[in-house]
Structure 1
Amino acid sequence: MMSKTIIVTGSTDGIGKLTAFSLAEKGHTVYVHGRNAVKVDAVVSEIKTKTNNQNIHGLVADFSDLEAVSELAEQIKKNIPKIDILINNAGIFKTKEVQNKNGLDIRMVVNYLAPYVMTNAILENIKQSEAPRIINLSSAAQAPVSEAVLIGKEHDSANSTYAQSKLALTMWSFNLAKQEPKITVIAVNPGSLLNTKMANEAYGQHWSPAEKGMDILLDLALSDEYKNDSGKYFDNDKGDPKGYFSPAHPGAYDEAKINALLVLTNNIIE
C-alpha cells in the first residue's frame, strides 16, 4: 500500500488521536493537530515511539480563532505540497467560554467555520493527490441553522448550537463534493456517545467504545470501497459493528438553504 499524507484535526485526544495512531501504524505520514503546542508535541512523540514511524508532525492552532486557522492554512500550503486525506475531526460541545473574541459562538467556529476556512485555503494542495479525500465529522445531531446563531447575534443552548454547527458542516460537505468532482468528500456521524472525553463530559456516559468511531474514519479515509461515494452521509449509528450511508437532515439537500448558508459564511469570514 502506498503511504499517504494525512491531516487529522483535533487529534490530541478522542477518536482523532486513535485515528492518527492507527494511520501511523499503517505507515502513513500523519499530521497531528491541536490547540496546545505542548500537548501536540507530546502526542507526536508518543506516536513516533509506539509506532516506530518517524513521519509524524504537529500542527498547532486554536480553532476557535479564525485568524489562527488562516495562519495554519498558510503554513500547510507552504510545507505540505500534497495532501492525500484531510479528516476534519476537531469538534467542541461543552465550553466554558461561549463566544470567541469576535463574538461568534465557539461551537459554530470550531465545528463549522474553522474547517470551512482551512479546507478551502488548502484545496489546491489536496488536489495534488491522485485520489484525494476529505472526511468531515458530522453528528446524529443536526438542526436547521439559524442565521442569528451563525452570526453570533443570538445564543442558543449547547445542544441546539452543536446540532446547527453539524448540519452546517454537512450542508457545506455536500456542496464541496459538487464543486470539486476530483475530491471524494464524505460526511460521517462516527457514532453517538462514543467513549471519548467529549461525550463523557457532555453526558457522563457512553454507548460504544471510541474504537467504533476510529474504525469508520480509517475505513472511509483509506478503503477503495468508498471512492465513488462523494457527497454522501455515512451514519455509523445505523449498524454494528459498522453503519451505512443514509440520508442526512433534509436541510442538507436544500440548494437554496445551502446557498444562503454559504453566502452568510463568506460574509462572516471576510
Structure 2
Amino acid sequence: MKHILITGSTDGIGKLLALRLAKEGHFVAIHGRSETKLAATLKEIKEQSNNENILGFLADFSDLKAVKKMVKEVAEKMPKIDVLVNNAGILTTNSKTASTDIRFMVNYFAPYVLTNGLLPSIKTSEAPRIVNLSSAAQSTINIQALEGKTSLGANEAYAQSKLALTMWSFYLAEQEPSITVVAVNPGSLLNTKMANEAYGQFWSPAEKGADLLYDLAVSEAFESVGGAYFDNDKGTERGDFAEAHPDAYNGSKIDELIAVTKMLLLG
C-alpha cells in the first residue's frame, strides 16, 4: 500500500486516478477547492472502492496562504507520502488575482510551495515519486509577467506557467536525486472539464491521461526516470519520453526562474 496525494482530483483525470488507486487499496488523499465537490467526491470514491483510507484536503490554489495551510494539514495527517501528483491546473477563469496571473499561481507557484513544504514527508518514503502535470503548450517565460508587472493572454500565461513547472521539475530532480521527479504532458485536449470549458471539444478520452499518470505514479517500469519529460501525444496508444521546450535544458534560465520564484515567495 502506497500513500498518494493527488491535487485537483475532484474531477477529470485526477479523480479517475484517485478512484483506480483507491480500488487497489492504496491510501489516497484527494484535493479540491470546492467544499461541496470535495465532500461528494470523497463519499463517491469511498463507496465505489470500499476503501476508507481516503482523505480530502480543501485549498484554493490561487491563494498561497491556503496552500501553506494545506501543507500543515497534509504533514499532520500524512507523515509519509510515497507519491505526489501535482495535477491541479487552470486555463480559463473569471476571477482575477491582485498581481500575478492566476495561471502562474495555480499551475506553478502552488505546486512549488506545496511540494517544497511536503518534502520531509516525501523523503520518508523508500522510493518517492513526484509527478508534475505539464502540457504540450510551453512558452518562454516573461519574467515581468511572472512578477505580475505585465499581463498576458490566457493561453500564453498557461503555456508559460507549464514551462515554469517543467523547468522547476528538472531543477528539483537534480536537487533531490533520491526522488523520482517527472514532468508529463498527459495528452492534449483530453475529455476533461478544463478542455471542454476552454475549447468545447476533445481529442482523446480522459482515461488516456489517467492511465499514464497511474503508471508514472506506481508502475515499477517508471521507478528511475527522474528529470525526464513524458509526452503522451507521441504515438497512438501510449506516448513516450521526449524533449520538452529548449528552455527546460537551459541552466541559466532555470537559475533565473528559481531565483525570481524564491524572491517573490519571500516578498
Q: Structure 1-normalised TM-score?
A: 0.97
Aligned mates of 1:196, 1:5 — CA distance in 2: 25
Q: Which runs of 5+ in 2 are unaligned?
A: none
Aligned mates of 1:258, 1:58 — CA distance in 2: 33
The AA in structure 1 aligned to 2:142 is S
C-alpha offsets along residues 48-92 of structure 1, whole Å, 9 cap, x if unaligned? 011101111100000000011011101112221100000000000
Establish whether residue 100 from structure 1 lines up as the match of residue 100 from structure 2: no
Where does residue 220 of structure 1 map in the other structure? 216
C-alpha offsets along residues 164-197 of structure 1, whole Å, 9 cap, x if unaligned? 0000000000000000011000000000000001
Where does residue 29 of structure 2 map in the other structure? 31
Candidates 234, 247, 270, aligned match of 2:243? 247
> Structure 1 segments of 4 or more deviating over 6 A?
none
Candidates 162, 169, 173, aligned match of 1:166? 162
Where does residue 184 of structure 1 map in the other structure? 180
**Superposition deviation, residue 39 in structure 1:** 1.1
**Superposition deviation, residue 37 in structure 1:** 1.6
Aligned mates of 2:30, 2:223 — CA distance in 1: 24
Establish whether residue 90 from structure 1 lines up as the match of residue 83 from structure 2: no
RMSD: 0.7
Candidates 146, 150, 161, aligned match of 1:154? 150
**Tell me, what secondary structure is at the counterpart of 1:7?**
strand
**Superposition deviation, residue 148 in structure 1:** 1.2
Where does residue 73 of structure 2 map in the other structure? 75
Q: Which runs of 5+ in 1 are unaligned?
A: none
Aligned mates of 2:214, 2:223 — CA distance in 1: 13
**Tell me, what secondary structure is at the counterpart of 1:122?**
helix
**Superposition deviation, residue 232 in structure 1:** 0.1
**Superposition deviation, residue 230 in structure 1:** 0.3
Q: Structure 2-normalised TM-score?
A: 0.98
Aligned length: 266
Aligned mates of 1:42, 1:205 — CA distance in 2: 26
Establish whether residue 258 from structure 1 lines up as the match of residue 246 from structure 2: no
Candidates 112, 117, 132, aligned match of 1:116? 112
The AA in structure 2 aligned to 1:262 is I
**Superposition deviation, residue 119 in structure 1:** 0.2
**Superposition deviation, residue 17 in structure 1:** 0.7
Aligned mates of 1:23, 1:240 — CA distance in 2: 24
**Tell me, what secondary structure is at the counterpart of 2:225?**
coil
Candidates 200, 205, 208, aligned match of 1:209? 205
**Tell me, what secondary structure is at the counterpart of 1:30?**
strand
Aligned mates of 1:210, 1:179 — CA distance in 2: 32
The AA in structure 2 aligned to 1:168 is A
Taking the TM superposition and a 5 Å limit, the aligned residue runs for 1:123-138 are 123-138=119-134
Where does residue 63 of structure 1 map in the other structure? 61
Aligned mates of 1:141, 1:190 — CA distance in 2: 12
Aligned mates of 1:12, 1:268 — CA distance in 2: 29
